Amino acid sequence: MKNNFTFIAVLCFTSLFSCNCNNNKEKVDVDFVRYKTDLQIESEILGMPVKFSVFLPADYAKNSDKRYSVVYLLHGLGDDHKSWNDEWLNITARIENWENTQGLEPMIYVIPQGFRSYYVNRYDGKFNYMDMFIQEFVPKIDVMYRTIANREHRAVAGYSMGGFGAMILASKHPEIFSVSVPLSMSFRTDEQYMTESASGWDNQWGTVFGGKGLTGAARLTDYYKQHCPYYMFTGQTAQQYSSVKYFYDCGDDEEQLLVANDKLHVQLRDAGFAHEYRVRNGGHTSSYWASAMQEVLPYISSCFNNVPYKTEENAAIPDTLNMTYRDTVLQGVNTTIFFPIDYMAGIDYPKIHLIKNNAVSAVEAAKALQDKTPFILIVSDMPDNQTPLYLLDVIMDTAELSSENFYYITLGDDGANYKNANVLYGICHKQNIPFEYRVYNGTSSKNSLLYGLLKMKEAIKNKIK
């Protein structure tokens, strides 16, 4: 009896112990929260705490032996470590959706407090943010979380001021980061800096890079040049940054920033420096940056997995043409005019004029652009200042631009005529000529040009509706 009682007691104790373990495991799973904010590290370099938010993979608690790649998300001037998940960007919900619908791999996302630092050391050494980030913040994140603690599995992305931070942190510290994604990167050309208002310069740039209170060329300090992409990525020096993969994106409705970002794209192309570049419809807004991340995160994932990213998008145009057409000669130039299938004389149809790359035939272009909303499409090599003009990776004489017309300029980021596109956009921007500017993922191949036409169709529909 005594032995049996002892056996039963041991059995009950063992069962109770096992039950408590299972309850604890379930409790960990139930209490697990993917997104946490207002966390902090104590920085000896800055002499103050630095806050951050973190978004962990959904299976982080269950797979206790698994390690993950890390994406650092940097905020803009005036924002903080919560801004990537505010009501407009709402990045955590977007990531969760892309994980479920597009198979985005699980990664750790860290959003640090950036203050007004531009993510660099201040010129006078009074606020060494970059030193803190590299020497303290990243190492502490690697201790606190199960990261894959090497450069091949770290990326940095940011918007506005954070875009500059994404560029400069990865460029100055390629031993830490292998991927850099600046969105609407906040920086200026030398000319823009020299003419910046005194308050704008002193409160934003001069405080960080030196030259506060100065004007003109005196603002372009040596410290500024050490952190300026134009001086870093020259034909002689660009390749020293080639261990980092760069993805730039900037909206065509930006006022000054697209001027600077597009000029950098041209400089990188001239230097033969491989990079991804996009110009989409939009301005300096949360919605623009949020939409960019739908391509950015798969790009980052491909870099982490050492998988080459696609050089162009696939185009699938209709096999049939639902328009009639005739070939003619206008002012000595061969022209093809496409009409709605049920064209009726006397109706004032909207007119669209396309100057296309010769790699695509007029009929192929019309197949890509045709729509249920009827319009007349004019395809030729001669600009016409009487109709909205659409330019597909072509060279156009800037003297033919007219303030009375509208121009849609588009090409792939590896398109042949990138210099002319930059000049055309720049003149339209400077002279307030109505325009739209798009740079998509592509080359000058027929497939890529047809893809550009399919994207152009969206703008045409907005123009003729």
When pLDDT is cut at 50, 70 and 90, the band that residue 441 belongs to is: very high
Condensed to tens digits (0 to 9), the pLDDT of residues 376-419 reads 999 998 777 778 999 999 999 998 899 999 999 999 999 999 99
**21 has a pLDDT exceeding 60:** no
**pLDDT tens digit sequence for 111-125:** 999 999 999 999 999
For the beta sheet containing 35-43, the strands, ordered from the edge strand earlier in sequence to the opposite edge, are 35-43, 48-55, 108-112, 70-74, 154-159, 179-183, 245-249, 276-278
Structural domains in the chain plus CATH codes? 35-187+228-304 (3.40.50.1820), 323-464 (3.40.50.1820)
More confident residue, 12 or 412: 412
Query: Strand pairing partners for 158?
Result: 74, 182
pLDDT tens per residue, range 57-79: 999 999 999 999 999 999 999 99
Pseudo-torsion of CA 25, 26, 27, 29, nearest 10°? 90
**Does residue 11 have a pLDDT over 50?**
no
What pLDDT, on a 0 to 100 scale, did the predictor assign at position 30? 55
Q: Is the pLDDT of residue 231 over 50?
A: yes
Residue 433, amino acid: I
Using a pLDDT cut of 70, give the percent of the chain over it. Answer: 94
More confidently predicted of 66 and 3: 66
Backbone angles phi, psi at 9, to 5 degrees: -65, -45
pTM (two decimals): 0.91
Backbone angles phi, psi at 14, to 5 degrees: -65, -45
Task: Name the more confident of 8 and 173.
Answer: 173
What mean pLDDT, rounded, does the chain reach?
92
pLDDT of residue 382: 78
| Per-residue pLDDT tens over the stretch 90-143 | 999 999 999 999 999 999 999 999 999 999 999 999 999 999 999 999 999 999
Q: 258-289, pLDDT tens digit by residue?
A: 999 999 999 999 999 999 999 999 999 999 99
